[in-house]
């Protein structure tokens, strides 16, 4: 492979709003990234996800298909 045909792939530091820090690699050129949600604080990955059913859709679905 030609060396000049590929962008630089450097290690960068990522900081989440929860305070979690980790290293990854990027071709963007920045040395630090700030993100809002990471795998340590995201509700889906932590198991703290809540289902918001403001219109009652889930309950109507359960009632509709409960007999079948």
Return binding residues for Zn(2+).
16, 18, 38, 41
- Beta-carbon count within 10 A of 13 CB: 13
Q: In what order do the strands lie in the sheet with 21-26?
A: 21-26, 10-16, 32-35
Structure tokens of 54? 């403001």
Residues annotated within the binding site are: 16, 18, 38, 41
Q: What is the CB-side half-sphere exposure of residue 3 using CA atoms within 13 A? A: 0
């Amino acid at each position: 492979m030609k060396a000049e045909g590929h962008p630089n792939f450097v290690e960068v530091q990522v900081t989440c709003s929860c305070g979690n820090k980790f290293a990854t690699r990027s071709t963007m050129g920045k040395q630090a990234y700030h993100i809002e949600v990471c795998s340590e604080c995201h509700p889906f990955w932590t198991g703290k996800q809540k289902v918001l059913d403001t219109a009652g859709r889930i309950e109507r679905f359960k009632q509709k298909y409960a007999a079948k």
